[in-house]
A = this chain, B = another copy of it.
């Protein structure tokens, strides 16, 4: 089937005299998850992983991805022409040099201009220059070949009401306009889907795991245009949008709209989400500025924070019931990792306003817990029994909140000292960072080490960032503040502000043996203002017990024990009133004080 698709593609390429094409993983909005419509690379390669790039020429069908996916590619691409190229650095554009190298002088290289940022296009052009390789837009090509191509979304576009989001779209638009005046620009151009959703208080189901609407927007002093599928907008919402001065034009009209704008205009936009097709269409001056909306959106208003707390309370109830069920079930039976993920979702589905998972849940038993982006396969995932260690990282979309939580629990038998030590050091790192008080000028990179210091002292470490921002019924991974050990992402370089929601999730992974991660969401707040600065701190809003069976008590200070007991008291108090007497009893036991 894949080879047939490639054959059809190559014949179309020949007709158009295109020597090679590059298919990336993303959509025109640089989204983390993409609508089925944009899963072009998966369509032509058979490989369904989240990261990878396919390059197709008459001779080759070469797929680049990183080590997380090597086995998956081998299995999914078996029997096809697709050859795996192993990336050493995830997301590095190693394929560009490769294809420019293998093409002849004056060849034609096709890319969909909507799927590449300006800096990506510049990078390709640089490599293509020495051989005079021409870069051509193939945005029309895929439709010719992919006959049963899915739609970009067909669910209704609905109002994200003011009592849930806490701020009107007119107020948000006015803030953008103020910024436009400050910058002496005429138009603010938005292409990130989570920013569109936030700005207009609209939601839909266009993208996996994320309630977003495919669209663009242009905000000017006297007009606002939303480019989206008007037929899908609920009629009351549509008239409300119009009342608020927001004109809706077809999604596909964005390019011609941009081209028709006066060349005198200055268009302010965020270069990281702007695609090359839009850039190319803007007739005025493009003025780059880091996203205005990202900064506004990352600071939650009081309604959003209360909703987030409500979401975490519901997650806490669902997880408590799930863990009760699991403990009981494993006494007599076993279950696969994959099925356990489904079972977990069934408990969350019982909660009001649940609309789906916020990401593909990670259920990693024993050694599988050490695979950081593990996704249990439907067929042949590990069988969980009443012994050993289990890592579960999962999250929900509720109509009023997005959640994300990780717990590592012990299922039975006697844990090794090594496991207990690592589990305890991870918890110590969590507590260290959660209780830190720090100047508001401090970046995520300066805070990240606090979550690692206790592991470091034992010669241990973990290979991922310590936390990320989280959306309000939006993306589970919001760009902006967080904790990371490098300055290569915004999580390392951004400072924190009061009223942001951020995860703290240190871990430890021993290959082939076990994975540990403990993750809470915290809300940042101003703790103290002195002549030496404004000092921030965190308050956890996640409500779920932390398994004390894996603790090495000797490694904890009395102040850490106090933290643990107070946290457990808070969890029990918040959840118990919605639990049955038996459930309360079970949770009280899990939340019993540690001495």
Q: When the two chains form their complex, are residues B436 and A442 in contact, meaning their CB atoms are under 8 A apart?
A: no
Query: Smallest CB–CB gap between A429 and chain B, Å?
Result: 13
Query: Smallest CB–CB gap between A252 and chain B, Å?
Result: 43
Scan A507-535; emit 1 where CB is below 8 A from any B CB, else 0: 00000000000000000000011101101
When distances are taken between beta carbons in the complex, the residues of chain B under 8 Å from A457 are 436-437
When distances are taken between beta carbons in the complex, the residues of chain B under 8 Å from A453 are 436, 438, 450
A446 CA to B453 CA, complexed, in Å: 11
A453 CA to B433 CA, complexed, in Å: 11
On whether A456 and B535 interact (CB within 8 A), knowing A439-B461, A445-B445, A449-B450, the answer reads yes
Q: When the two chains form their complex, are residues A532 and B436 in contact, meaning their CB atoms are under 8 A apart?
A: no
A448 CA to B449 CA, complexed, in Å: 10
Contact of A449 among B446, B529, B530, B535 (CB under 8 A): B446
Q: When the two chains form their complex, are residues B449 and A442 in contact, meaning their CB atoms are under 8 A apart?
A: yes
Interface members, chain A 492-508 (any B CB < 8 Å): none
- CB closest chain-B residue, reference A559: B557
A79 proximal to B (CB < 8 A): no
Q: When the two chains form their complex, are residues A456 and B436 in contact, meaning their CB atoms are under 8 A apart?
A: yes
A446 CA to B445 CA, complexed, in Å: 6
18 A-B residue pairs with CB within 8 Å? A437-B456, A437-B457, A437-B459, A438-B449, A438-B453, A442-B449, A442-B485, A445-B445, A446-B446, A446-B449, A446-B485, A449-B449, A450-B453, A456-B535, A459-B532, A459-B535, A460-B530, A460-B532
A448 CA to B447 CA, complexed, in Å: 10
* A437-B456, A456-B535 known, 6 other contacts, Cβ within 8 Å: A436-B456, A438-B456, A442-B485, A447-B449, A459-B532, A460-B530
A442 CA to B453 CA, complexed, in Å: 11
- SS class, residues of chain A in contact with chain B: mixed
A487 proximal to B (CB < 8 A): yes
Contact of A487 among B485, B487, B535 (CB under 8 A): B487
Query: Smallest CB–CB gap between A510 and chain B, Å?
Result: 9
In the A-B complex, list the 8 residue pairs whose CB atoms are closest, starting with the nearest.
A459-B530, A459-B528, A461-B532, A446-B449, A437-B457, A438-B456, A460-B532, A459-B535
When distances are taken between beta carbons in the complex, the residues of chain B under 8 Å from A460 are 530, 532
Query: Smallest CB–CB gap between A367 and chain B, Å?
Result: 15
Query: Smallest CB–CB gap between A170 and chain B, Å?
Result: 38
A450 CA to B446 CA, complexed, in Å: 9
A440 CA to B163 CA, complexed, in Å: 50
Interface members, chain A 456-501 (any B CB < 8 Å): 456-457, 459-461, 485, 487
Query: Smallest CB–CB gap between A539 and chain B, Å?
Result: 16
When distances are taken between beta carbons in the complex, the residues of chain B under 8 Å from A445 are 445-446
When distances are taken between beta carbons in the complex, the residues of chain B under 8 Å from A535 are 456, 459
- CB closest chain-B residue, reference A509: B532
When distances are taken between beta carbons in the complex, the residues of chain B under 8 Å from A439 are 456, 461
When distances are taken between beta carbons in the complex, the residues of chain B under 8 Å from A533 are 459, 461
When distances are taken between beta carbons in the complex, the residues of chain B under 8 Å from A436 are 453, 456-457
Interface members, chain A 525-554 (any B CB < 8 Å): 528-530, 532-533, 535
A453 CA to B437 CA, complexed, in Å: 8
When distances are taken between beta carbons in the complex, the residues of chain B under 8 Å from A449 are 438, 442, 446-447, 449-450
When distances are taken between beta carbons in the complex, the residues of chain B under 8 Å from A461 are 439, 532-533
- CB closest chain-B residue, reference A534: B459
Query: Smallest CB–CB gap between A421 and chain B, Å?
Result: 13
A459 CA to B534 CA, complexed, in Å: 8
- CB closest chain-B residue, reference A448: B446
When distances are taken between beta carbons in the complex, the residues of chain B under 8 Å from A438 are 449, 453, 456
A109 CA to B206 CA, complexed, in Å: 61
Query: Smallest CB–CB gap between A414 and chain B, Å?
Result: 24
When distances are taken between beta carbons in the complex, the residues of chain B under 8 Å from A456 are 436-439, 535
When distances are taken between beta carbons in the complex, the residues of chain B under 8 Å from A446 are 445-446, 448-449, 485
Residue among A437, A456, A535 having the largest count of chain B Cβ atoms under 10 Å = A456
A442 CA to B457 CA, complexed, in Å: 14
A221 CA to B226 CA, complexed, in Å: 66
Query: Smallest CB–CB gap between A123 and chain B, Å?
Result: 21
When distances are taken between beta carbons in the complex, the residues of chain B under 8 Å from A450 are 449, 453
